[in-house]
Structure 1
Amino acid sequence: MLTIGQLASYAGVTIRTVRHYHQVGLLPEPERDRSGYRTYDAGAVVRLIRIRTLADAGVPLARVQELLDADADTFGGAVEEIDRRLRAEIRELQQHRRRIAQLGSGDTLAVPQEVSDYLELVRATGVPEEMIEAERDAWILVAARYPDRIPAFMADKRAQLEDERTVRFYQLVGRMLRSDGTDDEPLVHEMADVLVELFEEAAATGQLEQQDLLMDDSAFVQLLDSMADGHPMVTRLRELLAERGWAGWTRVERA
């Protein structure tokens, strides 16, 4: 006859686990002997091992009792059901793992994969991470407000990156962010020149008319503008654009 410690050792569990199985009714608790101790026989070891095996396989304790007492057909059906549930949980965990892996750079935090891929293209132009982070935060808002329009937005942004003038603008912004502020005015003027050239071309081809269709929430446009307005570079750049006849930031138009 075995003590509770020996029973736990033979079955590969802890004494605390044995007592828990007693409490939930999975393992019958033996009567005390004349010495006042509870002792267990071989049947208790077998049952405890079966309980441990089912629990280790992912069977909820609430169903262990059912399976212990089930006939072959019932047991087989229950096992298949539990297996389906476990496979579904595994798929969900794998999706979580993929999502966590994507969060390594921070770009995919709360943005769709299309945006993350686009930010990688921007990063490849050599701009500092400060600019990547600012653009990512803006796209977090856009993705939340217009989730169905992200593919269209990203198609447009990718097309813009194929234009060397857009890449030049990003590079100028990068230089501005890295500068010590002593010689920024020529950079801002060149940035304004590049933007005006792009705006004029977009207006001539009718692209600017698409802004109202894609970004039709004026309050949201103002919210996006507010994210950039605090930077002195943006303030000065908007002044220069206004002198050249252009207004707006997220959504531009002739002044």
Structure 2
Amino acid sequence: MITIGQLARYVGVSTKTIRVYHDKGLLPEPDRDASGYRRYGAADAIELIKIRALAEAGVPLARIRDLRAAADEDFQQALREIDDGLTARIRDLRATQGRLRRLAAGELSPLPTEVTAFLRRLPGWGFTSRWVDLQRDLWILVFATHPDEAMTLFGDQDEILADPARRQLFLDYDHAHDLDADDPRLDDLARRIVEATRARYGPDELPELDTGSEIPALVQGTVNAESPAWRRLDTLIRTRLKV
């Protein structure tokens, strides 16, 4: 028979923890001996080890108390469910660890190979490195925040840039970055973009400017913050599309 301090050392918990288990009804509290000490046996140590294992698995103490009083079949089923939960947690932790390691390596988020190949084509088409960097950051943002919709959005832009005439509008948009906000060339570019948009969608299928989705606002807000000229260009396009 051993004291509470010895039991705590053997099992690897504190005496305070054992007393909490007594108070919660998880571990029976033995009677005191003639010297006034509570003495614990091997069965107490085994029970304490089981309780500690469940607690370390994240099982609430109230649930542990119920499990300790459950029939063996119910107890085993509960252990299987706890094990499945731990497996899922481990999988999520490993995914988080992978993201942390990519972050440490300077990779905020891995992009699909289609997007990476698309970004590599941009300089060859005449886009500035500023535009390529902005596009990369935007796609990282979209894929991280809206993974279910990101590939559809990317496919749409990839299709647009595959057309040389429409690609030229994006090139002009890129090179308008350094223009003054009141430069008349912005009015002409906005007119051409609106005409191309109307030609693509038709008068009855123009894209909604305010769809309720966070993605367009998220992307356009990031673009507008880069340049006063881009911000005015966005205003001109929105105004003309509403006419």
Which position in structure 2 is the counterpart of 1:165? 168
Q: Distance in 2 between matches of 1:139 and 1:51?
A: 45
- Point out where structure 1 has 5 or more consecutive residues left out of the alignment: 177-183, 239-246
Over residues 140-170 of structure 1, what are the superposed CA-to-partner deviations in whole Å (9 max), with x where a residue is unaligned? 9xx99xx998766543322233344145235
SS across alignment from 1:214: coil
1:46/1:56 CA distance change after superposition, 3 Å: same
1:37 offset after TM fit, Å?
Answer: 2.9
Aligned-partner Cα distance in 2 for 1:218–1:57: 44
Q: Aligned to 1:38, what secondary structure does the other structure show?
A: coil
Shift of 1:42: 2.7
CA distance in 2: counterparts of 1:99 and 1:213, whole angstroms: 39
Aligned equivalent of 2:21: 21
| Aligned-pair identity (%) | 32
- Residue 68 of structure 1, CA deviation: 3.7
Aligned to 1:248: 236
Q: Is the 8 A contact 2:194 2:237 kept in 1?
A: no
TM-score of the aligned structures, taking structure 1 as reference length: 0.57
Could you say if the C-alpha distance between residues 254 and 92 of structure 1 is closer, same or farther in structure 2, counting changes exceeding 3 Å?
A: closer
Match in the other structure for 1:243: none
The 2-side partners of 1:231 and 1:46 are apart by 68
Alpha-carbon distance in 2 for matches of 1:84, 1:209: 53
Give the direction of change, closer, same or farther, for the CA distance of 1:71–1:34 in structure 2 (3 Å limit). Answer: same
Q: Which amino acid aligns with 1:55?
A: A
Displacement of 1:44 in angstroms is 1.9
Residues matched between the structures, number: 221
Identify the residue that residue 126 of structure 2 maps to in structure 1.
none
> Whole-Å Cα distance in 1 between the matches of residues 75 and 211 of structure 2?
62
Is 1:82 equivalent to 2:82 in the alignment?
A: yes
SS in 1 for 2:237: coil
- Paired position in structure 2 for 1:207: 200
Whether 1:233 and 2:229 are equivalent positions in the alignment is yes
With structure 2 as the length reference, what TM-score do the two structures score?
Answer: 0.59
Partners of 1:22 and 1:4 lie apart in 2 by: 12
Contact 1:149-1:214 within 8 A present in 2 as well: no
Equivalent residue of 2:36, what SS? Answer: coil
Contact kept in structure 2, 1:122 and 1:132, CA below 8 Å: no
Higher mean C-alpha deviation, range 194-203 or range 41-50: 194-203
RMSD of Structure 2 on Structure 1 (CA): 5.2
Separation in structure 2 between the aligned mates of residue 153 and residue 65 of structure 1, nearest angstrom: 51
**Contact 1:169–1:194 (Cα < 8 Å) also in 2:** yes
1:42 is matched with 42
Mapped contact 2:22–2:28 kept (Cα < 8 A) = yes
1:12 matches 2:15: no
Query: Shift of residue 29 of structure 1?
Result: 1.9
User: Is the alpha carbon distance of 1:30 and 1:100 closer, same or farther for their aligned partners in structure 2, counting shifts above 3 Å?
Assistant: same
* Larger RCO (alpha carbons 8 Å, 6+ apart): 2
Contact 1:55 1:61 in 2 (8 A): yes
Contact 1:127 1:173 in 2 (8 A): no
1:75 partner SS: helix
The range that moved more, 96-105 or 16-25, is 96-105
